[in-house]
Amino acid sequence: MTATPGTVPDAQAGTGARVVFQTAPDRYRHWRVGVDGPVATLTMDVAEDGGLRGGYELKLNSYDLGVDIELYDAVQRLRFEHPEVHAVVLTSGRDKVFSAGANIRMLAAAEHAWKVNFCKFTNETRNGIEDATACSGQAYIAAVNGSASGGGYELALACEHIMLIDDRSAAVSLPELPLLGVLPGTGGLTRVTDKRHVRRDLADYFSTRPEGIGGAKAVAWRLVDEAVPRTAWSETVAARAAEFAARSSRPAGATGIELAPLDKTRSDEAVGYRHVSARLDRAGGVAEITIRGPGQSPPADATGIREHGAGFWPLAMTRELDDLVLDLRTNEGELGTWILRTEGAPALVLGYDRLLLANRDDWLVNEVVQYLKRTLKRLDVTSRSLLALIEPGSCFAGSLLELALAADRSYMLAGVFEDEDPDAEPAVIAVSEMNLGPLPMGNGLTRLHNRFTGDPDALAAAKKQAGQLLRAEDAERLGLVTFAPDDIDWAEEVRLAVEERASFSPDALTGMEANYRFAGPETMETKIFGRLTAWQNWIFNRPNASGPDGALRRYGTGRRADFDRKRV
Protein backbone atom coordinates (compact mmCIF):
# COMPACT_ATOMS: atom_id res chain seq x y z
CA MET A 1 0.00 0.00 0.00
CA THR A 2 1.21 3.53 -0.70
CA ALA A 3 2.48 5.87 1.95
CA THR A 4 0.24 8.44 3.55
CA PRO A 5 0.97 11.92 2.21
CA GLY A 6 3.70 13.26 4.38
CA THR A 7 7.43 13.25 4.72
CA VAL A 8 9.95 10.46 4.98
CA PRO A 9 13.02 10.45 7.21
CA ASP A 10 16.12 12.39 6.20
CA ALA A 11 18.07 9.20 5.56
CA GLN A 12 15.80 8.40 2.64
CA ALA A 13 15.57 11.96 1.38
CA GLY A 14 19.23 12.85 1.16
CA THR A 15 18.78 16.62 1.39
CA GLY A 16 15.99 16.70 3.98
CA ALA A 17 12.51 15.37 4.69
CA ARG A 18 10.87 14.31 1.45
CA VAL A 19 7.22 14.80 0.53
CA VAL A 20 5.33 11.72 -0.65
CA PHE A 21 2.50 12.35 -3.11
CA GLN A 22 0.97 8.87 -3.28
CA THR A 23 -2.03 8.14 -1.11
CA ALA A 24 -5.40 6.33 -1.17
CA PRO A 25 -8.88 6.92 0.28
CA ASP A 26 -8.37 4.54 3.18
CA ARG A 27 -5.50 6.77 4.32
CA TYR A 28 -7.17 10.16 3.96
CA ARG A 29 -7.18 12.28 7.10
CA HIS A 30 -8.85 15.38 5.71
CA TRP A 31 -11.45 14.32 3.14
CA ARG A 32 -14.41 11.94 2.95
CA VAL A 33 -15.67 10.59 -0.36
CA GLY A 34 -19.22 9.31 -0.68
CA VAL A 35 -20.77 7.97 -3.86
CA ASP A 36 -24.53 7.70 -4.29
CA GLY A 37 -25.33 6.68 -7.85
CA PRO A 38 -24.52 9.51 -10.25
CA VAL A 39 -23.60 11.96 -7.48
CA ALA A 40 -20.46 11.93 -5.32
CA THR A 41 -19.92 14.09 -2.26
CA LEU A 42 -16.42 15.25 -1.42
CA THR A 43 -16.44 16.49 2.18
CA MET A 44 -13.60 18.59 3.58
CA ASP A 45 -13.10 17.86 7.28
CA VAL A 46 -9.50 18.76 8.04
CA ALA A 47 -7.78 17.14 11.01
CA GLU A 48 -6.36 20.02 13.03
CA ASP A 49 -3.37 17.97 14.15
CA GLY A 50 -2.73 16.57 10.65
CA GLY A 51 -0.33 19.16 9.27
CA LEU A 52 2.35 17.94 6.89
CA ARG A 53 4.94 19.79 8.94
CA GLY A 54 4.94 20.64 12.63
CA GLY A 55 4.35 24.00 14.26
CA TYR A 56 0.79 24.80 13.19
CA GLU A 57 -2.78 23.57 13.61
CA LEU A 58 -5.14 23.30 10.66
CA LYS A 59 -8.03 25.12 12.30
CA LEU A 60 -11.26 26.14 10.56
CA ASN A 61 -10.71 23.73 7.67
CA SER A 62 -7.54 25.56 6.69
CA TYR A 63 -5.22 23.49 4.57
CA ASP A 64 -1.61 22.77 3.76
CA LEU A 65 0.06 20.69 1.05
CA GLY A 66 -0.98 17.41 2.69
CA VAL A 67 -4.66 18.35 2.50
CA ASP A 68 -4.32 19.17 -1.18
CA ILE A 69 -2.43 15.96 -1.97
CA GLU A 70 -5.50 14.07 -0.76
CA LEU A 71 -7.81 16.32 -2.79
CA TYR A 72 -5.75 15.71 -5.93
CA ASP A 73 -5.92 11.96 -5.37
CA ALA A 74 -9.68 12.07 -4.80
CA VAL A 75 -10.32 14.02 -8.00
CA GLN A 76 -8.21 11.55 -9.98
CA ARG A 77 -9.97 8.52 -8.52
CA LEU A 78 -13.44 9.93 -9.16
CA ARG A 79 -12.50 10.27 -12.83
CA PHE A 80 -10.97 6.81 -13.30
CA GLU A 81 -12.61 4.62 -10.69
CA HIS A 82 -16.15 6.06 -10.82
CA PRO A 83 -17.42 6.61 -14.36
CA GLU A 84 -20.93 6.37 -12.94
CA VAL A 85 -20.38 9.67 -11.10
CA HIS A 86 -21.73 12.54 -13.19
CA ALA A 87 -21.63 15.33 -10.60
CA VAL A 88 -19.52 16.00 -7.52
CA VAL A 89 -20.69 18.09 -4.58
CA LEU A 90 -17.75 19.65 -2.78
CA THR A 91 -18.69 20.75 0.73
CA SER A 92 -17.49 21.05 4.33
CA GLY A 93 -17.96 18.75 7.25
CA ARG A 94 -17.82 21.70 9.66
CA ASP A 95 -20.85 23.67 10.74
CA LYS A 96 -20.80 27.30 9.53
CA VAL A 97 -17.27 26.97 8.12
CA PHE A 98 -16.48 25.96 4.56
CA SER A 99 -12.74 26.67 4.59
CA ALA A 100 -10.45 29.36 5.93
CA GLY A 101 -8.03 28.72 3.05
CA ALA A 102 -4.31 28.10 3.20
CA ASN A 103 -3.04 27.88 6.76
CA ILE A 104 -1.42 31.18 7.63
CA ARG A 105 0.94 29.80 10.27
CA MET A 106 2.23 27.32 7.71
CA LEU A 107 2.79 30.08 5.15
CA ALA A 108 4.46 32.39 7.66
CA ALA A 109 6.96 29.73 8.75
CA ALA A 110 7.61 28.18 5.33
CA GLU A 111 10.65 29.00 3.25
CA HIS A 112 10.02 30.84 0.00
CA ALA A 113 10.36 27.82 -2.30
CA TRP A 114 7.83 25.87 -0.23
CA LYS A 115 5.27 28.67 -0.51
CA VAL A 116 5.69 28.89 -4.27
CA ASN A 117 5.54 25.13 -4.89
CA PHE A 118 2.53 24.85 -2.59
CA CYS A 119 0.67 27.50 -4.58
CA LYS A 120 1.64 25.87 -7.87
CA PHE A 121 0.37 22.44 -6.84
CA THR A 122 -2.90 23.79 -5.44
CA ASN A 123 -3.39 25.74 -8.68
CA GLU A 124 -2.88 22.57 -10.71
CA THR A 125 -5.35 20.67 -8.53
CA ARG A 126 -8.02 23.32 -9.01
CA ASN A 127 -7.33 23.32 -12.75
CA GLY A 128 -7.89 19.56 -12.60
CA ILE A 129 -11.33 20.11 -11.06
CA GLU A 130 -12.21 22.48 -13.90
CA ASP A 131 -10.82 19.99 -16.42
CA ALA A 132 -13.03 17.23 -14.99
CA THR A 133 -16.07 19.43 -15.59
CA ALA A 134 -15.03 20.62 -19.05
CA CYS A 135 -13.55 17.43 -20.50
CA SER A 136 -15.02 14.50 -18.55
CA GLY A 137 -18.63 15.44 -17.93
CA GLN A 138 -18.10 15.31 -14.17
CA ALA A 139 -19.43 18.66 -12.99
CA TYR A 140 -18.28 20.05 -9.63
CA ILE A 141 -20.73 21.96 -7.44
CA ALA A 142 -19.48 23.95 -4.45
CA ALA A 143 -21.93 23.66 -1.59
CA VAL A 144 -20.52 26.45 0.58
CA ASN A 145 -22.23 25.76 3.88
CA GLY A 146 -20.31 28.39 5.85
CA SER A 147 -17.79 31.16 5.39
CA ALA A 148 -15.22 30.62 2.66
CA SER A 149 -12.21 32.87 2.81
CA GLY A 150 -9.04 33.07 0.76
CA GLY A 151 -8.11 29.68 -0.59
CA GLY A 152 -11.43 28.32 0.64
CA TYR A 153 -13.28 30.61 -1.76
CA GLU A 154 -10.68 29.82 -4.43
CA LEU A 155 -11.56 26.15 -4.05
CA ALA A 156 -15.21 27.04 -4.64
CA LEU A 157 -14.21 29.17 -7.64
CA ALA A 158 -12.79 26.06 -9.31
CA CYS A 159 -16.28 24.54 -9.33
CA GLU A 160 -18.84 24.96 -12.11
CA HIS A 161 -21.58 26.15 -9.78
CA ILE A 162 -21.33 27.86 -6.37
CA MET A 163 -24.11 27.63 -3.81
CA LEU A 164 -23.77 29.76 -0.66
CA ILE A 165 -25.85 29.14 2.43
CA ASP A 166 -27.83 32.28 3.27
CA ASP A 167 -27.85 32.51 7.06
CA ARG A 168 -26.69 36.11 7.58
CA SER A 169 -23.23 34.96 8.66
CA ALA A 170 -21.80 32.99 5.73
CA ALA A 171 -19.76 34.99 3.25
CA VAL A 172 -17.11 34.58 0.59
CA SER A 173 -13.95 36.65 0.73
CA LEU A 174 -10.43 37.11 -0.58
CA PRO A 175 -8.81 38.81 2.45
CA GLU A 176 -5.16 38.19 1.53
CA LEU A 177 -4.37 41.76 0.52
CA PRO A 178 -5.82 43.60 3.55
CA LEU A 179 -4.90 41.01 6.18
CA LEU A 180 -1.72 39.30 4.94
CA GLY A 181 -0.07 41.66 2.49
CA VAL A 182 -0.08 39.00 -0.26
CA LEU A 183 -2.36 37.95 -3.12
CA PRO A 184 -4.78 35.04 -3.35
CA GLY A 185 -2.35 32.28 -4.31
CA THR A 186 -4.48 29.85 -6.28
CA GLY A 187 -6.00 31.92 -9.05
CA GLY A 188 -8.66 33.81 -7.12
CA LEU A 189 -8.13 37.22 -8.72
CA THR A 190 -8.10 35.74 -12.21
CA ARG A 191 -11.14 33.52 -11.75
CA VAL A 192 -13.20 36.34 -10.23
CA THR A 193 -12.82 38.43 -13.39
CA ASP A 194 -12.14 35.93 -16.20
CA LYS A 195 -14.41 33.09 -15.07
CA ARG A 196 -17.07 34.67 -12.87
CA HIS A 197 -17.04 37.91 -14.89
CA VAL A 198 -17.24 40.11 -11.82
CA ARG A 199 -16.98 43.76 -12.83
CA ARG A 200 -13.52 45.21 -12.26
CA ASP A 201 -14.56 47.92 -9.79
CA LEU A 202 -16.65 45.46 -7.78
CA ALA A 203 -13.78 42.97 -7.79
CA ASP A 204 -11.49 45.69 -6.46
CA TYR A 205 -13.86 46.47 -3.60
CA PHE A 206 -14.43 42.78 -2.85
CA SER A 207 -10.70 41.99 -2.62
CA THR A 208 -10.06 44.79 -0.12
CA ARG A 209 -12.98 43.87 2.17
CA PRO A 210 -11.72 41.20 4.60
CA GLU A 211 -15.17 40.37 5.98
CA GLY A 212 -16.37 39.39 2.53
CA ILE A 213 -19.79 39.49 0.92
CA GLY A 214 -22.73 37.14 1.33
CA GLY A 215 -26.40 36.67 0.55
CA ALA A 216 -28.16 38.42 -2.30
CA LYS A 217 -25.28 40.82 -2.92
CA ALA A 218 -22.86 37.94 -3.54
CA VAL A 219 -25.30 36.61 -6.15
CA ALA A 220 -25.87 40.03 -7.74
CA TRP A 221 -22.12 40.59 -8.04
CA ARG A 222 -21.67 37.09 -9.58
CA LEU A 223 -19.41 35.96 -6.74
CA VAL A 224 -21.72 32.95 -6.30
CA ASP A 225 -24.55 31.51 -8.38
CA GLU A 226 -27.21 31.24 -5.71
CA ALA A 227 -27.81 31.92 -2.03
CA VAL A 228 -29.97 29.28 -0.37
CA PRO A 229 -31.75 29.57 3.00
CA ARG A 230 -30.57 27.11 5.62
CA THR A 231 -34.05 25.62 5.86
CA ALA A 232 -33.93 24.57 2.20
CA TRP A 233 -30.22 23.82 2.00
CA SER A 234 -30.06 20.02 1.84
CA GLU A 235 -32.94 19.63 -0.60
CA THR A 236 -31.64 22.38 -2.91
CA VAL A 237 -28.11 20.98 -3.00
CA ALA A 238 -29.48 17.54 -3.84
CA ALA A 239 -31.73 18.95 -6.54
CA ARG A 240 -28.91 20.96 -8.11
CA ALA A 241 -26.58 17.95 -8.11
CA ALA A 242 -29.26 15.89 -9.83
CA GLU A 243 -29.72 18.59 -12.47
CA PHE A 244 -26.02 18.71 -13.31
CA ALA A 245 -25.74 14.93 -13.26
CA ALA A 246 -28.57 14.65 -15.79
CA ARG A 247 -26.63 16.82 -18.27
CA SER A 248 -23.49 14.65 -18.15
CA SER A 249 -22.14 12.73 -21.12
CA ARG A 250 -20.53 10.08 -18.92
CA PRO A 251 -21.78 6.48 -19.35
CA ALA A 252 -24.41 5.16 -16.95
CA GLY A 253 -23.35 1.53 -16.62
CA ALA A 254 -19.57 1.61 -17.02
CA THR A 255 -17.15 0.03 -14.58
CA GLY A 256 -14.10 1.99 -13.47
CA ILE A 257 -10.52 0.83 -13.10
CA GLU A 258 -8.61 0.85 -9.85
CA LEU A 259 -5.62 3.17 -9.62
CA ALA A 260 -3.39 0.67 -7.84
CA PRO A 261 -0.32 1.92 -5.90
CA LEU A 262 2.69 2.73 -8.05
CA ASP A 263 5.66 0.39 -7.83
CA LYS A 264 8.29 2.99 -6.93
CA THR A 265 11.82 2.82 -5.57
CA ARG A 266 13.55 5.91 -4.18
CA SER A 267 17.11 6.52 -3.01
CA ASP A 268 19.41 9.51 -2.75
CA GLU A 269 20.78 8.77 -6.24
CA ALA A 270 17.80 7.49 -8.21
CA VAL A 271 14.04 7.20 -8.59
CA GLY A 272 12.60 4.17 -10.35
CA TYR A 273 9.27 2.95 -11.67
CA ARG A 274 8.35 0.39 -14.30
CA HIS A 275 8.35 2.81 -17.26
CA VAL A 276 10.07 5.91 -15.89
CA SER A 277 13.34 6.42 -14.05
CA ALA A 278 15.60 9.26 -12.98
CA ARG A 279 19.27 9.44 -12.05
CA LEU A 280 20.04 12.27 -9.63
CA ASP A 281 23.40 13.97 -10.19
CA ARG A 282 23.66 16.29 -7.21
CA ALA A 283 27.19 17.46 -8.03
CA GLY A 284 26.10 18.59 -11.47
CA GLY A 285 22.62 19.78 -10.44
CA VAL A 286 21.02 17.46 -13.00
CA ALA A 287 18.20 14.92 -13.04
CA GLU A 288 18.49 12.52 -15.98
CA ILE A 289 14.98 11.27 -16.71
CA THR A 290 14.26 8.30 -18.97
CA ILE A 291 10.80 7.35 -20.20
CA ARG A 292 10.53 3.83 -21.63
CA GLY A 293 8.12 3.16 -24.45
CA PRO A 294 5.75 0.19 -24.57
CA GLY A 295 7.28 -3.25 -24.65
CA GLN A 296 4.51 -4.85 -26.67
CA SER A 297 1.95 -4.02 -29.33
CA PRO A 298 -1.19 -2.18 -28.23
CA PRO A 299 -4.46 -4.01 -27.57
CA ALA A 300 -6.79 -4.39 -30.50
CA ASP A 301 -9.59 -2.27 -29.07
CA ALA A 302 -11.02 -0.53 -26.01
CA THR A 303 -11.94 -3.89 -24.46
CA GLY A 304 -8.25 -4.78 -24.43
CA ILE A 305 -7.47 -1.49 -22.72
CA ARG A 306 -9.80 -2.40 -19.87
CA GLU A 307 -8.16 -5.79 -19.50
CA HIS A 308 -4.85 -4.02 -18.87
CA GLY A 309 -6.46 -1.63 -16.37
CA ALA A 310 -4.02 0.72 -14.67
CA GLY A 311 -1.20 -1.26 -16.32
CA PHE A 312 -2.19 0.03 -19.78
CA TRP A 313 1.09 1.60 -20.96
CA PRO A 314 -0.06 5.20 -21.67
CA LEU A 315 -1.85 5.37 -18.31
CA ALA A 316 0.88 3.64 -16.30
CA MET A 317 3.61 5.77 -17.87
CA THR A 318 1.66 8.98 -17.30
CA ARG A 319 1.00 8.18 -13.64
CA GLU A 320 4.69 7.51 -13.09
CA LEU A 321 5.81 10.66 -14.90
CA ASP A 322 3.28 12.73 -12.96
CA ASP A 323 4.55 11.40 -9.65
CA LEU A 324 8.19 11.91 -10.67
CA VAL A 325 7.62 15.53 -11.71
CA LEU A 326 5.93 16.24 -8.36
CA ASP A 327 8.66 14.42 -6.43
CA LEU A 328 11.57 16.19 -8.11
CA ARG A 329 9.89 19.57 -8.21
CA THR A 330 9.11 19.52 -4.50
CA ASN A 331 12.01 17.57 -3.03
CA GLU A 332 14.97 18.33 -5.31
CA GLY A 333 15.11 22.10 -5.63
CA GLU A 334 18.82 22.20 -6.51
CA LEU A 335 18.54 19.84 -9.45
CA GLY A 336 17.89 22.71 -11.82
CA THR A 337 18.35 20.92 -15.15
CA TRP A 338 16.27 17.95 -16.25
CA ILE A 339 17.58 15.88 -19.15
CA LEU A 340 14.79 14.02 -20.94
CA ARG A 341 15.48 10.74 -22.76
CA THR A 342 13.26 7.99 -24.14
CA GLU A 343 13.92 4.33 -24.89
CA GLY A 344 11.91 2.04 -27.13
CA ALA A 345 10.37 1.54 -30.55
CA PRO A 346 8.78 4.61 -32.17
CA ALA A 347 6.40 2.37 -34.14
CA LEU A 348 4.92 0.97 -30.93
CA VAL A 349 4.35 4.45 -29.48
CA LEU A 350 2.60 5.48 -32.70
CA GLY A 351 0.50 2.32 -32.50
CA TYR A 352 -0.73 3.26 -29.03
CA ASP A 353 -1.47 6.78 -30.28
CA ARG A 354 -3.63 5.37 -33.07
CA LEU A 355 -5.50 3.17 -30.60
CA LEU A 356 -6.23 6.14 -28.33
CA LEU A 357 -7.30 8.41 -31.17
CA ALA A 358 -9.55 5.76 -32.71
CA ASN A 359 -11.40 5.33 -29.40
CA ARG A 360 -11.63 8.91 -28.13
CA ASP A 361 -15.39 8.53 -27.58
CA ASP A 362 -14.72 5.85 -24.97
CA TRP A 363 -14.83 7.36 -21.48
CA LEU A 364 -11.69 5.55 -20.27
CA VAL A 365 -9.63 6.43 -23.33
CA ASN A 366 -10.71 10.04 -22.94
CA GLU A 367 -9.55 10.01 -19.32
CA VAL A 368 -6.14 8.62 -20.30
CA VAL A 369 -5.63 11.31 -22.95
CA GLN A 370 -6.82 14.07 -20.60
CA TYR A 371 -4.46 12.84 -17.88
CA LEU A 372 -1.51 12.89 -20.27
CA LYS A 373 -2.52 16.42 -21.26
CA ARG A 374 -2.55 17.56 -17.62
CA THR A 375 0.80 15.91 -16.85
CA LEU A 376 2.49 17.58 -19.82
CA LYS A 377 1.03 20.89 -18.64
CA ARG A 378 2.58 20.24 -15.23
CA LEU A 379 5.93 19.79 -16.98
CA ASP A 380 5.42 23.05 -18.91
CA VAL A 381 5.01 25.11 -15.74
CA THR A 382 7.83 23.44 -13.80
CA SER A 383 10.68 25.84 -13.06
CA ARG A 384 13.48 23.61 -14.32
CA SER A 385 15.56 23.79 -17.48
CA LEU A 386 14.42 21.00 -19.81
CA LEU A 387 16.87 19.49 -22.32
CA ALA A 388 15.80 16.61 -24.58
CA LEU A 389 18.49 14.24 -25.90
CA ILE A 390 17.39 12.21 -28.93
CA GLU A 391 19.77 9.29 -29.48
CA PRO A 392 19.72 5.89 -31.23
CA GLY A 393 17.20 3.65 -29.48
CA SER A 394 14.97 6.56 -28.44
CA CYS A 395 11.25 6.81 -29.19
CA PHE A 396 10.37 10.49 -29.35
CA ALA A 397 7.32 9.82 -31.48
CA GLY A 398 3.76 11.08 -31.22
CA SER A 399 2.72 11.43 -27.60
CA LEU A 400 6.35 11.06 -26.44
CA LEU A 401 7.51 13.67 -28.97
CA GLU A 402 5.58 16.10 -26.78
CA LEU A 403 8.41 15.77 -24.25
CA ALA A 404 10.94 17.06 -26.77
CA LEU A 405 8.56 19.81 -27.89
CA ALA A 406 8.12 20.84 -24.24
CA ALA A 407 11.89 21.06 -23.75
CA ASP A 408 13.72 24.38 -23.81
CA ARG A 409 16.22 22.83 -26.23
CA SER A 410 16.53 19.49 -27.99
CA TYR A 411 19.66 17.76 -29.30
CA MET A 412 19.34 14.97 -31.87
CA LEU A 413 22.32 12.85 -32.85
CA ALA A 414 23.05 12.85 -36.56
CA GLY A 415 24.11 9.28 -37.28
CA VAL A 416 25.21 6.85 -34.59
CA PHE A 417 27.83 6.54 -31.87
CA GLU A 418 30.58 4.94 -33.93
CA ASP A 419 32.62 3.78 -30.92
CA GLU A 420 29.63 2.25 -29.13
CA ASP A 421 27.45 0.62 -31.79
CA PRO A 422 28.28 1.49 -35.39
CA ASP A 423 25.56 -0.89 -36.64
CA ALA A 424 22.76 0.79 -34.66
CA GLU A 425 19.83 2.43 -36.40
CA PRO A 426 20.10 6.26 -36.30
CA ALA A 427 17.68 8.13 -34.06
CA VAL A 428 14.34 9.15 -35.52
CA ILE A 429 11.41 11.27 -34.38
CA ALA A 430 7.83 11.20 -35.64
CA VAL A 431 4.91 13.59 -35.59
CA SER A 432 1.49 11.98 -35.15
CA GLU A 433 -2.09 13.18 -34.89
CA MET A 434 -1.52 13.23 -31.14
CA ASN A 435 0.70 16.30 -31.66
CA LEU A 436 -1.97 18.14 -33.64
CA GLY A 437 -4.68 18.83 -31.08
CA PRO A 438 -5.45 16.37 -28.25
CA LEU A 439 -2.67 17.60 -25.90
CA PRO A 440 -2.86 21.41 -25.80
CA MET A 441 -0.76 23.61 -23.56
CA GLY A 442 -2.19 26.05 -21.04
CA ASN A 443 -2.36 28.73 -23.75
CA GLY A 444 -4.71 26.56 -25.79
CA LEU A 445 -2.13 25.85 -28.52
CA THR A 446 -0.49 22.57 -29.40
CA ARG A 447 3.22 22.47 -28.67
CA LEU A 448 3.86 22.34 -32.40
CA HIS A 449 1.78 25.48 -32.96
CA ASN A 450 3.42 27.12 -29.96
CA ARG A 451 6.84 26.27 -31.45
CA PHE A 452 6.02 27.83 -34.83
CA THR A 453 3.97 30.83 -33.68
CA GLY A 454 3.98 33.40 -36.46
CA ASP A 455 5.37 30.93 -38.99
CA PRO A 456 2.41 29.12 -40.56
CA ASP A 457 4.54 27.71 -43.38
CA ALA A 458 6.87 25.94 -40.93
CA LEU A 459 3.86 24.60 -39.00
CA ALA A 460 2.27 23.31 -42.18
CA ALA A 461 5.53 21.66 -43.27
CA ALA A 462 5.80 19.86 -39.92
CA LYS A 463 2.18 18.69 -40.10
CA LYS A 464 2.75 17.25 -43.57
CA GLN A 465 5.34 14.88 -42.11
CA ALA A 466 2.86 13.26 -39.71
CA GLY A 467 3.51 9.53 -39.53
CA GLN A 468 6.98 9.73 -41.11
CA LEU A 469 10.12 8.62 -39.25
CA LEU A 470 12.45 11.61 -39.51
CA ARG A 471 16.22 11.40 -39.07
CA ALA A 472 18.25 14.24 -37.57
CA GLU A 473 18.96 16.13 -40.79
CA ASP A 474 15.27 16.34 -41.72
CA ALA A 475 14.17 17.04 -38.15
CA GLU A 476 16.61 19.96 -37.90
CA ARG A 477 15.62 21.29 -41.34
CA LEU A 478 11.95 21.26 -40.30
CA GLY A 479 12.72 23.03 -37.01
CA LEU A 480 11.53 20.10 -34.92
CA VAL A 481 14.83 19.91 -32.99
CA THR A 482 17.26 22.63 -31.95
CA PHE A 483 20.60 21.09 -32.91
CA ALA A 484 21.73 17.91 -34.67
CA PRO A 485 25.44 17.40 -33.84
CA ASP A 486 27.30 14.34 -35.09
CA ASP A 487 29.15 11.73 -33.06
CA ILE A 488 32.32 13.84 -32.93
CA ASP A 489 30.63 16.92 -31.45
CA TRP A 490 27.81 15.31 -29.48
CA ALA A 491 29.40 14.85 -26.05
CA GLU A 492 31.01 18.30 -26.05
CA GLU A 493 27.88 20.16 -27.12
CA VAL A 494 25.72 18.41 -24.54
CA ARG A 495 28.33 18.94 -21.81
CA LEU A 496 28.58 22.66 -22.57
CA ALA A 497 24.80 23.06 -22.58
CA VAL A 498 24.42 21.38 -19.19
CA GLU A 499 27.37 23.15 -17.56
CA GLU A 500 26.31 26.51 -18.97
CA ARG A 501 22.83 26.05 -17.53
CA ALA A 502 24.28 25.28 -14.11
CA SER A 503 26.36 28.49 -14.19
CA PHE A 504 23.41 30.85 -14.69
CA SER A 505 21.17 32.42 -12.04
CA PRO A 506 18.29 30.00 -11.35
CA ASP A 507 15.94 32.95 -10.81
CA ALA A 508 16.78 34.50 -14.18
CA LEU A 509 16.46 31.11 -15.90
CA THR A 510 13.02 30.57 -14.41
CA GLY A 511 11.87 33.96 -15.67
CA MET A 512 13.33 33.41 -19.13
CA GLU A 513 11.92 29.90 -19.53
CA ALA A 514 8.44 30.87 -18.33
CA ASN A 515 8.33 33.68 -20.89
CA TYR A 516 9.58 31.63 -23.83
CA ARG A 517 7.51 28.52 -23.16
CA PHE A 518 4.16 30.21 -23.74
CA ALA A 519 3.69 32.06 -27.00
CA GLY A 520 0.49 33.35 -28.53
CA PRO A 521 -2.73 34.11 -26.65
CA GLU A 522 -3.05 34.64 -22.92
CA THR A 523 -5.64 32.47 -21.19
CA MET A 524 -6.93 32.25 -17.65
CA GLU A 525 -4.47 29.41 -17.10
CA THR A 526 -1.41 31.29 -18.38
CA LYS A 527 -2.40 34.31 -16.32
CA ILE A 528 -2.56 32.18 -13.19
CA PHE A 529 0.78 30.46 -13.79
CA GLY A 530 2.48 33.46 -15.38
CA ARG A 531 1.36 36.93 -14.42
CA LEU A 532 -0.26 36.12 -11.06
CA THR A 533 2.40 33.62 -10.01
CA ALA A 534 5.21 36.00 -10.92
CA TRP A 535 3.73 38.76 -8.80
CA GLN A 536 2.97 36.44 -5.91
CA ASN A 537 6.50 35.03 -6.10
CA TRP A 538 7.91 38.54 -5.76
CA ILE A 539 5.45 39.59 -3.05
CA PHE A 540 6.27 36.50 -0.97
CA ASN A 541 9.90 37.67 -0.90
CA ARG A 542 9.12 41.21 0.19
CA PRO A 543 9.49 42.22 3.85
CA ASN A 544 5.99 43.73 3.79
CA ALA A 545 4.67 40.18 3.62
CA SER A 546 7.38 37.85 4.90
CA GLY A 547 9.73 40.05 6.90
CA PRO A 548 9.89 39.94 10.72
CA ASP A 549 7.41 42.82 10.89
CA GLY A 550 5.45 41.74 7.82
CA ALA A 551 1.78 40.92 7.64
CA LEU A 552 2.21 37.14 7.49
CA ARG A 553 4.38 37.14 10.62
CA ARG A 554 2.17 39.51 12.62
CA TYR A 555 -1.18 38.02 11.67
CA GLY A 556 -3.09 37.03 14.82
CA THR A 557 -0.70 38.82 17.20
CA GLY A 558 -2.84 41.93 17.59
CA ARG A 559 -0.07 44.04 16.07
CA ARG A 560 -0.36 45.63 12.64
CA ALA A 561 2.29 45.01 10.01
CA ASP A 562 4.96 47.66 9.60
CA PHE A 563 4.88 48.35 5.86
CA ASP A 564 7.55 50.00 3.78
CA ARG A 565 5.31 52.60 2.12
CA LYS A 566 7.35 53.07 -1.06
CA ARG A 567 5.65 51.73 -4.20
CA VAL A 568 8.07 49.59 -6.22
pLDDT of residue 3 exceeding 50, the answer is: no
Strand pairing category for 96-99 and 39-44: unpaired
Per-residue pLDDT band at 78 (split at 50, 70, 90): very high
| pLDDT tens per residue across span 329-344 | 999 999 999 999 999 9
Domain match, 396 and 442 both: yes
Domain match, 218 and 345 both: no
Q: Region 416-442: what's the mean pLDDT?
A: 95
Neighbouring CB atoms inside 10 A of 424's CB total 14
Domain match, 214 and 279 both: no
pLDDT of residue 2 exceeding 60, the answer is: no
Q: Region 195-215: what's the mean pLDDT?
A: 97
Q: Calculate what percentage of the chain has a pLDDT beyond 90.
A: 88
- Residue 547 to residue 469: CA distance in whole angstroms: 56
What pairs with residue 272 in β-bridges?
265, 277
Q: In this structure, is residue 356 part of a structural domain?
A: yes
Domain match, 225 and 276 both: no
Q: In this structure, is residue 4 part of a structural domain?
A: no
At 185 the pLDDT is 84
Q: In this structure, is residue 10 part of a structural domain?
A: no
Domain match, 235 and 335 both: no
Asked if residues 482 and 414 have their Cβ atoms less than 8 Å apart, the reply is: no
At 538 the pLDDT is 85
| pLDDT tens per residue across span 7-35 | 544 323 333 589 999 999 999 999 999 99
Q: How many domains does the structure of the chain reveal?
A: 2
Residue of 146, 132, 131, 137 lying closest to 43 (CA atoms): 146
Domain match, 362 and 240 both: no
- Residue 292 to residue 109: CA distance in whole angstroms: 40
| pLDDT tens per residue across span 36-60 | 999 999 999 999 999 999 899 999 9
Q: Region 524-533: what's the mean pLDDT?
A: 89
pTM of the entire predicted model? 0.95
Q: In this structure, is residue 557 part of a structural domain?
A: no
Domain match, 484 and 447 both: yes
Domain match, 480 and 335 both: yes
| pLDDT tens per residue across span 171-192 | 999 999 999 999 998 899 999 9
Domain match, 484 and 406 both: yes
At 253 the pLDDT is 86
Q: In this structure, is residue 239 part of a structural domain?
A: yes
Q: Among 184, 213, 246, identify where a domain stops.
A: 246
Domain match, 209 and 280 both: no
At 6 the pLDDT is 63
| pLDDT tens per residue across span 453-511 | 999 999 999 999 999 999 999 999 999 999 999 999 999 999 999 999 999 999 999 99
Domain match, 332 and 232 both: no
Q: What average pLDDT does the chain have?
A: 94
At 536 the pLDDT is 84
DSSP string covering 318-359? HHHHHHHHHHHHHH-TT--EEEEEEES-HHHHHHHHHHHHHT
- Among the residue ranges 59-63, 142-146, 486-490, 560-564, the one predicted with the least confidence is 560-564
Structural domain including 291 reads: 265-517
At 513 the pLDDT is 94
Q: In this structure, is residue 302 part of a structural domain?
A: yes
pLDDT of residue 403 exceeding 90, the answer is: yes
Domain match, 403 and 468 both: yes
Asked if residues 134 and 111 have their Cβ atoms less than 8 Å apart, the reply is: no
Q: Region 230-255: what's the mean pLDDT?
A: 96
Q: Among 186, 215, 246, identify where a domain stops.
A: 246
CATH of the domain at 25: 3.90.226.10
